[in-house]
Homo-oligomer: A and B are copies of this chain.
Amino acid sequence: MPITDALPELAFLGDRLCRTRAVLDHHAHSESHVRAGLPDAVAYPQTTEEVARLAAVAARHRLPLIGWGAGTSLEGHALAPMGGITVDFGKMAQLLAVYPEDMLAVVQPGITREALNTQLRDSGLFFPVDPGANASLGGMAMTRASGTTAVRYGTMRDNVLGLEVVLAGGQIIRTGSSAPKSSAGYDLTALMVGSEGTLGLVTELTLRLHGQPEAVSAAVCTFPDLGAAVDCVIATIQMGVPMARIEFLDTDAVAACNAWSGQTLPLAPMLLVEFHGSPAGVAEQASRFGEIARDHGSTGFQWAKAQEDRSRLWKMRHQSYPAILASRPGCTAIVTDVCVPISALAEAVEETRADIAATPIAGPILGHVGDGNFHAILLVRPGDPTEAAIAQRLSGRMADRALRLGGTISGEHGIGMGKLPYMSAEHGPAWSVMGAIKHALDPLGVMNPGKLVPQ
């Protein structure tokens, strides 16, 4: 139904319901290559009750509701392909409470991970999930995000303990509790995490925090080939050495980072590793890793114990995206994401590299090796349909390859609209089960339509 019919019932939002072209346009462009039309309006609720009231109005008028955090999603999750109301959580972005003894924080969905960690700084605690982008916690939960630290601290699946959710129609529920675990019924928290707003809008999150590590040590090292690097990581994990981060950059990515940051890292497959713990613990972990890495042919070790050296290394890793973009000036990127069993990672990456090399476009590869997760940054000329089609074909073959190797079409970016074509191949009849759950909770189909489930 047209939104104009619903406007009188939305008057409670005052000027926090916005229909100016600039605002609508802003909410039609996330960091995704996926494109969609404009929403009909953008709402900026301030309370759970306002979100519930909005959901009731939306249900009555069959208006789609699309959650918006920081606009950093990569598969079009926050776009409005069927119009409707984008619910921007920018005014629900507070850290509500910290419970140091229980190592928990309660936050509103719009808070970003950098804002959260800045506010936690003096508590001795931190929230570890780090997808790179300064995403909102609500968005990270809905995408089941992870990133560089998942090998040690887990993904959003592991670090969200409870949620407040506004369901289709406006009912408010709470999932989980503040206890560290529960076996009391279906794990609705886990069902909601990764549901991409298709089952409801998250209005509050209870998060697990972790102690800020007493000591941190990082290193870069290069390997003769990716297989050796992966075998080194497998051996390290099997020996129980708790790495906090293990990032892989292929030679193209290293070259781009060198050019961008003026460094002179050796042009070879590279691992960045980081250890967290007590000073003695970190020293022991680092020494054990060093031994294992040398056994696997690693050279060019550079340890970074000082904060400034570590910052330089991780700045390089976090800036690898602009660095790679700059390596083919004027291009935009289609960023893909698959995840495979770690034993298949070298094969998956090598095949992907060969596949990209056989095309005219460039595509450096970065990965979270400890998770079997990697990204190709496919660089295409904007508005060039041939290059876009090549990138889509490469992305599709990455998804097929991941499934053939026992993996998944998305390790951390989610499905949104961009990965919908591959869902049936991954899940078979289980995709219809997802559809049945969606229909049970949102029979009118107003919660983020056009995403994740069978359409």
Whether A188 lies near B284 (C-beta < 8 A) is: no
Whether A412 lies near B181 (C-beta < 8 A) is: yes
Q: How far is the CB of A115 from chain B (nearest CB, A)?
A: 23
Whether B104 lies near A341 (C-beta < 8 A) is: yes
Whether B281 lies near A181 (C-beta < 8 A) is: no
> A184-B415, A188-B430 are known contacts; what are 15 more A-B pairs with Cβ within 8 Å?
A125-B238, A144-B183, A173-B427, A173-B430, A180-B371, A182-B408, A183-B194, A184-B408, A184-B419, A184-B427, A185-B415, A211-B240, A240-B278, A241-B278, A437-B440
Q: How far is the CB of A147 from chain B (nearest CB, A)?
A: 11
Give the CA-CA distance A125 to B238 in the complex, in Å. 8
Whether B190 lies near A157 (C-beta < 8 A) is: yes
Which of A95-103, A256-264, A352-360 lies at the interface with chain B?
Answer: A95-103
Q: How far is the CB of A419 from chain B (nearest CB, A)?
A: 7
Whether B101 lies near A277 (C-beta < 8 A) is: no
Q: How far is the CB of A421 from chain B (nearest CB, A)?
A: 12
Whether A180 lies near B237 (C-beta < 8 A) is: no
A339 within 8 A of B: yes
Which residues of chain B have C-beta atoms less than 8 A from A419's C-beta?
A: 184
Known A-B contacts A406-B177, A411-B179; the reply to A429 vs B341 at CB < 8 A is: no
Which residues of chain B have C-beta atoms less than 8 A from A452's C-beta?
A: 185-186
Whether A408 lies near B288 (C-beta < 8 A) is: no
Q: How far is the CB of A257 from chain B (nearest CB, A)?
A: 25
A242 within 8 A of B: yes
Q: Of B146, B177, B185, B278, which is within 8 A of A194 by CB?
A: B185
A176-211 with Cβ < 8 A to chain B: 177-188, 190-191, 193-195, 210-211
Which residues of chain B have C-beta atoms less than 8 A from A372's C-beta?
A: 179-180
Q: How far is the CB of A212 from chain B (nearest CB, A)?
A: 9
Q: Of B184, B402, B430, which is within 8 A of A174 by CB?
A: B430
Nearest residue (CB) in B for A234 is: B101
> Which 6 residue pairs spanning A and B have beta carbons closest together?
A190-B190, A440-B440, A101-B343, A178-B406, A182-B408, A179-B407
- Interchain Cβ contacts under 8 Å between A and B, 14 examples: A124-B238, A155-B181, A173-B429, A174-B427, A177-B408, A178-B341, A179-B339, A181-B412, A183-B410, A183-B411, A186-B194, A186-B195, A187-B190, A437-B440
A138-174 with Cβ < 8 A to chain B: 143-146, 150, 154-155, 157-158, 167, 171-174
Which residues of chain B have C-beta atoms less than 8 A from A125's C-beta?
A: 238
Whether A193 lies near B185 (C-beta < 8 A) is: no
Which residues of chain B have C-beta atoms less than 8 A from A278's C-beta?
A: 239-241, 284, 288
Nearest residue (CB) in B for A145 is: B183
Q: How far is the CB of A382 from chain B (nearest CB, A)?
A: 27
Which residues of chain B have C-beta atoms less than 8 A from A413's C-beta?
A: 183
Whether B341 lies near A184 (C-beta < 8 A) is: no
Of the four ranges (under 10, 10 to 19, 20 to 34, 35 or more), the interface on chain A belongs to 35 or more
Known A-B contacts A101-B234, A178-B406, A185-B431; the reply to A191 vs B190 at CB < 8 A is: yes
Q: How far is the CB of A362 from chain B (nearest CB, A)?
A: 26
Which residues of chain B have C-beta atoms less than 8 A from A49's C-beta?
A: none
Whether B343 lies near A99 (C-beta < 8 A) is: yes
Q: Of B100, B339, B433, B436, which is within 8 A of A180 by CB?
A: B339
Q: Of B146, B178, B281, which is within 8 A of A281 by CB?
A: B281
Q: Of B175, B237, B240, B284, which is within 8 A of A276 by CB?
A: B240
Give the CA-CA distance A284 to B439 in the complex, in Å. 53
A6 within 8 A of B: no
Which residues of chain B have C-beta atoms less than 8 A from A188's C-beta?
A: 430, 433-434
Which residues of chain B have C-beta atoms less than 8 A from A234's C-beta?
A: 101
A22 within 8 A of B: no
Which residues of chain B have C-beta atoms less than 8 A from A237's C-beta?
A: 103, 211
Nearest residue (CB) in B for A414 is: B183
Q: How far is the CB of A117 from chain B (nearest CB, A)?
A: 17
A373 within 8 A of B: yes
Whether A342 lies near B102 (C-beta < 8 A) is: yes
Whether B428 lies near A174 (C-beta < 8 A) is: yes
Which residues of chain B have C-beta atoms less than 8 A from A3's C-beta?
A: none
